[in-house]
Every structure is written in C-alpha cells, then in structure tokens.
Amino acid sequence: MLVGIDSIANRGASPERKSLLRFITCGSVDDGKSTLIGRLLYDTRQIFDDQIRALETDSARLGTQGKAIDFALLVDGLAAEREQGITIDVAYRFCSTATRKFVIADTPGHEQYTRNMITGASTADAAVILIDATKGILTQTRRHSLLVNLIGVRHRVLAVNKMDLVDEDGETRFAEIVADYRAFAVQAGLGEFIAIPVAGVRGDNVVDRSAAMPWYAGPTLLETLEDLEVDTDAAARAPFCMPVQWVNRPDSSFRGFAGLITSGATEPGDSVRILPSGVNSTVARILTMDGDLSNARAGQSVILTLTGEIDCARGDFIAAANDPPAVADRFEASIVWLDSDPLVPSRTYSLKLASQVVGVTLQTPKYELNVNTMEHLAAKTLKLNGIGVTELATDRPIVFAPYTEDKSLGGFILIDRVTNATVACGMIHFALRRSTNIHWQTLSVDRAARARLKNQRPAVAWLTGLSGAGKSTIANLVEKKLNRMNRHSFLLDGDNIRHGLNKDLGFTETDRIENIRRVGEVARLMSDAGLIVIAAFISPFRAEREMVRAMIPRGEFLEVFIDTSLAEAERRDVKGLYAKARAGELKNFTGIDSPYEAPLAPELHIDTTAMSAEAAANAIVEALLDLGN
C-alpha cells in the first residue's frame, strides 16, 4: 500500500496480507485524473519520508527493508499518448512491510483514445472513475463505466472530484451525483460501487480525511484501495491450461512445447489433451533453464515434453484431459470498435486470442449500445468507439471460454489484414450451438485423388481490375487455350454469377464483399474437385482478394492484375456503365464513387494498353503451367 510503515505501526497488518492491486483512473477529459494520482503520490511520499526519518534508527522495526522504497516516474497518460501513441502504466513499489503494492494506469479521457483506456483496464482489478463535481456525469463517464464493466473489472470506485469548487453545497451536490450515477448503474447493470468525495488539488479524502467535508464519514480513497479484495489464487484453482508459444523443429531429436501456464498446475504423468485437435497424451517432462521440475503452476514459463508422436503447433493448447476448455468456430461477442474506418460485415479480419491467430468474419451487428440511454439500436455497422453485439465465424475452430469465466480465453482483438492495424477488441459471450453440431465429414476421395484423375494441378487464376479493363475477354481466351490443351477448367465471370448465385446482392461495399466471399468459396470447391478455375471479377478491395487467397492451398492461387487507366476504361465503356455513373444514374460504381484498391504484389501484372488480349492470355496460361499444369 502507499502508506506502508504507517499501516504496520498503527493497524497491525501482517506481511501475509500484502498483495498487488492494479487499478486505472478513467473518466472524461479534465476531470482531474492525473492531478489525483499526483496528489496520491505526493502525500504518501511525504508520509514515507517523515516516518523513515523517524524510524531509521530503529533497525529492529525496519529490519533490512528500510531502504526498499522505489517510486517510479509519473507519466501523464495524454502526454504519453501524444508523444508515443500509447498510455504508459505507472508502477509504484513500496517496502515489503507494506500492506499492499499498486500498479496504476492513468488512462486518457479523450474519446479518440478509448483504445488506450481499454488497454489499461484489461489487466486492472479496480477502476477509479472520476467525475467533475461542477459538471456531473458526462457521455465519456458513461462510456468508460460501461467499458470497465464489459472488460470485467471487479471493483469500481466513484471519485467525485473538485469538491473544493462546490464547498458551500458540497454535501447536496455529492448526493445528487451519486444518485444520478446509481440510476445509470442500475439501468446498465453495472453492480455496486463505492463513492468518495475528493479534491485532488487540496488532497481532501485522497490520503487524509478532509476537515472541509465533515459531513462525509466514509473511507478515504487510499483506505478504500487498501481494503479492496484481490483474488490472487483464481488462476491456480482453475484446470491446467497452457497456450503453446513455441515448438522446436520437427526434425530435432528433442520435441518440446514451450509456453506460459495460464491456469492450474501439472506434473509428469498427468493426462493432457491437445486442442483444438482433441488428441490425448501424457506429460513426460517439465523443463526450464534451471533443469527439470517436479511440477509447474500458473504464472510459470516452461517447456513440456509429451509421450508419443504428438502433432502440436504454435497456437495450440495443452490442457487437462479431464477438464479442457471448449472449442468452436462460431460465437456471439461484444465488440468495441477502435478504428476510424467502420466495421465492414462479411469482411475477413484476423482474430488474435491468446496465441491463436485465425481469420474471422463478422455479421451485421445485432445491435449497437447507446451509452447515454442504454438503448439497443439497430445498426448496419460499428463506427469509432461504438459498442455492439454481433455474431462472428472463424475460419477454423479455436480454443475459448466465455469472457466472464476466463479473460485470457474470452478476450480477443481484431486486426485489419491489409494494414495490420488493431481495429477492435471483443469479449466472447458463448459459442453458437450450430458450431458444435456441425463437423467435417471425412471423405475417401480427396483433392489429390481428383487432381490425379484429371492429370493436372488445381489452381485459381484470379483476374482483377476496373470495369472495361478487359478481364472477361482475357479470361475467356485463357479457358479456350486450356480447353485445347485438354485441361479441365471452369470460368467464373462477375456478370454471369450475378444472374444466379449472387442475384440477391447489390453493389454496396458490404454486398461486394459478400459477392467475393461466395465466389471464393465456389472457387475453392471447384479447385478441390481438381479443376483450374479462372475468376474474372472487379474485386475492388485487397482484403477480399487476400481472403480468397487464404482459402486456396499455398502455391495454387494466381492473382492477375488486369491494369488500365480509368481514362482508358471510360473511353472503352463497352457497357455504358461509366456514362451512367457520371450522370448519377449508377451508384457505388468502382472508380467513380467507390474505390478500387490495386494489388500491391500480384503474381502477374498485365497492362492492357501495352499488351493485346491474346498475349495476356498466353502469359496467364504460361504462369498456370509453371504452377504444375
């Protein structure tokens, strides 16, 4: 705790009570978060300095810990945000005779830095939510309170700050704010909280009780933080689980699986299950840099060896065989959107949960939460700082737990596959039942057998470019040439597909993404059948082209950029579409009022202003033959 020696001397605390409390300060801009932390630091350090000087001659009471006081530099969250793009956690360490140690995260109150507030809250045991007594509850107060609850922070302390500015009617004003916040908390299902009137500038009720507020008889902020319960044994009580972070080379004589044990304990001879495969094995050895261990528990980084030849890779989990976590690929989850570009339903993002990284698509949100009224609003997307609930599907099963049961297996982030930017964080509610009822059926005739029958290597040649670039013409020539060579192929053309499979889709960004997703699945199935697939689609977004590439086995996808300038495409305008788009008769037309994202590193780049359609088709066929056809 911050007052260390004073607590031992005056309260009779024992060393066994000492624990670590991680807490954040949050709330709206200029509510006084950094000032409050500064006052907390200043007042407690003054107490320490006075008491150490008084007791430094009493070695019997101080023992060898008298100099074990270490204050770290206080860093303002907003200043760090501006300079480095991050919020820095500020740690304070105190002598080992103190009753508690703290790690404090001063999170910025600006709405655009919500991602940093969530980062700080993700490991916190408590949140000190500040409210300016002169302003009352603001939108950002509500947003931060909801996020604290969503992230699963156990304790909430409401610090009504700047009480020195409302001295004359302080008691009434404090009661009004607490009543307003309680009504909001009940409506939002936030649970209980502790309210304290403080004045950060003067230090009232921060460390010492305030003579200026005789009407308040409760604990100070520091006393409250000292007395909050922290469950330090929860991870130890849970079943054994370790995400695999590293595996030595398969050709090595030693086969070890390294990771940090997140819960439970294990010892040689324990039965374990590899997830998500479900294969069972037994722990053979537990190794560290210092040699073998007889057992290991939560919080330790170790290398496990297992009996038998076990297929286990980075991102897999080793868990207790009798109580493993669940595995699924479809979920309901809460999402906090953190990117300036909105959520695009059906677009493939990367989902990172523990050591697992998988592709994921999100459905249109079930609803967005209005942080002021708590209404569930209909929404087609989520924008910056939006909070909503949606369903999501991963491209393969992952190990998970509901966030309320296990933060490490229920909390995830979403990453844009093109920019690698973190765009959202999420908390899993539960797996959808259909994900556990649907299983892959093992088939006797596989992809390789079908390819051998056709005497060719399956492949997908994906032609992308502006309307009028020449995709359909070139694709048709490619299939004619393959047909003359007795190759088994199929041409998927953008216009033709919209007459049948995708006739229910329009040309909005969301519909375009779904159009390419469906075509990608068809192309994958056709290549599984052993065919050479030629796909001719504008496919304007890089993320969706990468999504299709990820569906196809490595080395069997050929991205072909059919390149021409917009001016040349408009000059050709064989379908009259550009003219309609320029006249406003055709909305969401690529190149006019909808963007085209050119490939960054296609396997083939064909400029149709410099190469004939015949030459382009020859180049594509040659590239396909180089793949093994």
The predicted-structure confidence for 299-328, as pLDDT tens digits, reads as follows 999 999 999 888 899 999 999 999 999 999
Helix (H) or strand (E) holding 452: helix 447-454
Q: What is the pLDDT of residues 534-564, one digit of tens each?
A: 999 999 989 889 989 989 998 999 999 999 9
Q: What is the pLDDT of residue 162?
A: 95
| Peptide linkage before 108 cis (omega within 30 of 0) | no
Q: What is the DSSP letter of 16?
A: G
Interatomic CA distance for residues 509 and 344, integer angstroms: 8
Identify the band that residue 509 occupies on the pLDDT scale cut at 50, 70 and 90.
confident
Residue 140 lies in a domain: yes
In this structure, the answer to whether residues 215 and 247 fall within a common structural domain is no
Same domain, 24 and 75: yes
Chain centroid to CA 629: 41
* CATH classification of the domain holding 308: 2.40.30.10
pLDDT at res. 80: 40
Whole-prediction pTM: 0.72
Distance (Å, whole) CA 375 – CA 367:
9
Q: Name the DSSP letter for residue 139.
A: H
295: tokens are 């057992």
**Per-residue pLDDT for 391 more than 60?**
yes
**Domain tally for the chain?**
4
Q: Are 111 and 341 in contact (CB under 8 A)?
A: no
In a domain, 444, yes or no: no
563's tokens: 């390149």
Reply yes or no on whether the pLDDT at 574 is more than 80.
no
Please name which of 23, 14, 520, 525 lies closest in space to residue 228, comparing C-alpha atoms.
Answer: 23
Q: Which of 346, 539, 565, 612 is catalytic?
A: 539
Question: Of 141, 151, 124, whose CA–CA distance to 185 is shortest?
Answer: 141
pLDDT digits (tens, 9 = 90+) for 136-192: 999 999 999 999 999 999 999 999 999 999 978 899 999 999 999 999 999 998 989
Whether residues 207 and 241 fall in one domain: no
Average pLDDT for the chain? 84
The whole domain housing 367 covers 326-435
Mean pLDDT of 368-373: 90
Closest CA to 105 of 113, 442, 118: 118
Residue in this structure with the two tokens 């030595």, named with its chain if needed: 248
Q: Which pLDDT tens digit goes with each residue over 98-118?
A: 467 888 888 888 887 888 888
d(CA 364, CA 344): 8
Single-letter residue type at 195 = A
Residue with tokens 């560290």: 288
515 token code pair: 């159009």
DSSP 8-state class, residue 261: -
Q: Assess whether 380 and 521 both reside in one domain.
A: no
**CA 383 – CA 379 distance, rounded (Å):** 10
Cβ-count burial of 447 within 10 angstroms (0-12 exposed, 13-18 middle, 19+ buried)?
middle
Q: Which of 269, 293, 320 is the last residue of a domain?
A: 320
Active site residue 14: no
Q: State whether 16 and 137 are in the same domain.
A: yes
Do 68 and 194 fall within a single domain? yes
440 belongs to a structural domain: no
The pLDDT assigned to 87 comes to 35
Note the pLDDT tens digit of each residue in 43-86. Answer: 776 555 554 455 454 444 444 333 333 333 333 333 443 343 33
Give the end of a domain, one of 320, 354, 375. Answer: 320
**How do residues 348-361 score in pLDDT, each as one tens digit?**
999 999 889 999 99
